[in-house]
């Protein structure tokens, strides 16, 4: 699959808020008669952790002392608005992103840890 072929769509999705993404998922589920939850089920497979390409979930365990920096980093990583990012950080421990490639998750984890947060990859 060529990434260039889908770049415009990916860029558009990347710029969406969490609410818009939720509505998009629901619309796609209705349109194609599928469930996003069923597609995500293999990510929880016990053997998935051994594969470096296996999707992982990022969980913000603690915001630490630099809460503003964590909110900015979460906002950048997730594409959430400021209020949504703040609510996520205030509610820690909370999942930040789910089903992320391990390499990408490690980069995001590093960014959040540099900002002062404690992140766990599951």
Give me the domain span that covers residue 111: 35-121
Total domain count for the chain? Answer: 1
Please write the tens of the pLDDT for every residue from 41-90: 444 444 444 455 678 888 889 888 888 988 898 888 888 888 988 888 88
pLDDT of residue 44: 44
Residue 4 forms part of a structural domain: no
Handedness of CA 95, 99, 112, 3 (dihedral sign): negative
pLDDT of residue 41: 43
Nearest alpha carbon to residue 61 among 92, 89, 91, 90: 92
Residue 80 forms part of a structural domain: yes
Q: Cβ(108)–Cβ(77) under 8 Å?
A: yes
Q: Average pLDDT, whole number, for the chain?
A: 79
17 Cβ contact partners less than 8 Å away, ≥ 6 residues apart = 79, 80, 81, 84
Q: Which helix (H) or strand (E) holds 119?
A: strand 118-121
Residue 6 forms part of a structural domain: no
């Amino acid at each position: 699959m060529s990434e260039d072929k889908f770049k415009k769509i990916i860029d558009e999705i990347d710029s969406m808020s969490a609410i818009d993404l939720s509505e998009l998922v629901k619309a796609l589920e209705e349109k194609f008669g599928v469930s996003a939850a069923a597609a995500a089920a293999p990510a929880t497979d016990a053997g998935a952790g051994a594969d470096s390409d296996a999707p992982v979930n990022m969980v913000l365990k603690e915001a630490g002392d630099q809460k503003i920096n964590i909110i900015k980093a979460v906002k950048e990583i997730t594409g959430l608005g400021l209020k949504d990012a703040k609510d996520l950080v205030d509610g820690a421990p909370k999942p930040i992103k789910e089903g992320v490639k391990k390499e990408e998750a490690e980069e995001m984890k590093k960014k959040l840890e540099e900002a002062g947060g404690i992140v766990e990859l599951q």
